[in-house]
Amino acid sequence: MNAFSKIVNQETFNKQDLISMLNTVGDEQALLYQKSRAVKDYYIGNTVHLRGLIEYSNVCIKDCLYCGIRKSNKNTQRYTLSDEDVFQCALYALENNYGSIAIQAGERTDQLYISKITSLLKEIKKLSNGKLGITLSLGEQTLDTYKEWFDAGAHRYLLRIETSNRELYSKIHPNNRLHNFDKRIEALQNIRKVGFQLGTGVMIGLPHQTIENLADDLLFLKAMDVDMVGMGPYIEHQDTPLHEMNHLLKSRQERLDLTIKMIATLRILMKDINIVGATALQAIDKMGREKAIRYGANILMPNITPGNFRKKYKLYEDKPCTDENSVDCNNCIDARMSLIGSRIGYNEWGDSRHFTNSKFNP
């Protein structure tokens, strides 16, 4: 057994091991992927679960320096879906046997909004007879808000840490009360405290980000003992301040490659968690999500937002499926998964096994 093969077959991994895994090329990279596939086959199997993604609103009170829907971007036309639109999406997911939906939006924390989400959640639970699982991705909220939404029927929550490095975090966010690293960590803890399955993740290939940072990100995910991870390549957006740093970026292909290595390494590190094949992968490579699924991911989030709003939820450039309707997505996703020997777990919630087995599950 060569030295690298010994590393990937260990039970525990230190930072240096993770760095070696992220730096692999050629035969060693193939070995990394072989191992991550074996781990996935054993702990997860070949079933992929869907979360029909509803991009509820692009109104946002925050100003993340990388994000196309940041408050200061005046080139974005703001929208919020009507209740009727949201129910149509939920029914679409139900009729197409998706099992779960995910509601994502820019961040808002006003009382009117909080109550609106609560009533939408209750209504979706009712109209689906409790059949649809609900993931939320609605940013940083108070403990009370998280509790209210959990009690209303959502049971998984995604809030990316974006980077676990405090210094890098402050380079990609404005430095003010609304964009505070410690508050974000506290939000993650609160999400768990109220009973949600906890998901987080990072962007990969950010300006100033190093391989050491990414290895630390993996150790952070492990230390937080998260149930779900969604991570994807950073993709520049011309209407954002971070665009000025484009000269520092790796090529898109390199960012994609690194993302797949992050997913494979994470699968080896955290064997039974849910890992999303992020949509941003597909913005770089038409087969990006398939590669993610092949080497470790087990969740896809097909966009089911009504077609006319999709162009407006533009977090980054070349976002895929922005001019399609969800029916197209639905047909293509089944065929795409069959092609790589995976099957879709229709009508199942596909909860994180890590959560089901964990101490946090009452």
Note the residues at the interface with ligand FES (CB under 6 A).
Answer: 60, 62-64, 67, 69-70, 106-107, 139
What is the distance between the alpha carbons of residues 169 and 70, in angstroms, rounded to a whole number?
16
Smallest distance, Å, CB 77 to ligand 5AD?
18
Which residue, 160 or 294, has its beta carbon nearer to ligand 5AD?
A: 160
To the nearest whole angstrom, how small is the minimum distance from the Cβ of residue 14 to ligand 5AD? 27
**Closest residue to ligand FES using C-beta atoms:** 64
Rank residues 162 and 217 by Cβ distance to ligand 5AD and give the closer one: 162
Residue 160 binds: one of ligand FES, ligand 5AD, none (C-beta under 5 to 8 A by kind): ligand 5AD
Return the number of the residue (203 or 264) whose C-beta is nearest ligand 5AD: 203
CB of 183 to ligand 5AD, least distance (A): 15
Burial annotation 260-286 (CB, 10 A radius, 16+ → b, else e): bbbbbbbbbbbbbbbbbbbbbbbbbbe
Taking Cα atoms as reference points, which of 256, 293, 24, 209 lies closest to residue 217? Answer: 209
Distance CA 10, CA 21 (A): 12
| Non-local CB neighbours of 328 within 8 Å, separated by 6+ positions | 321
Please report whether residue 65 would count as binding ligand 5AD according to CB under 6 A: no
| Shortest Å, Cβ 106 to ligand 5AD | 9
Footprint (CB under 6 A) of ligand 5AD, residues 226-285? 232, 234-235, 237, 280
Residue at token pair 């050491």: 212
Binding site residues, ligand 5AD, CB under 6 A: 66-67, 160, 162, 203, 232, 234-235, 237, 280, 315-316
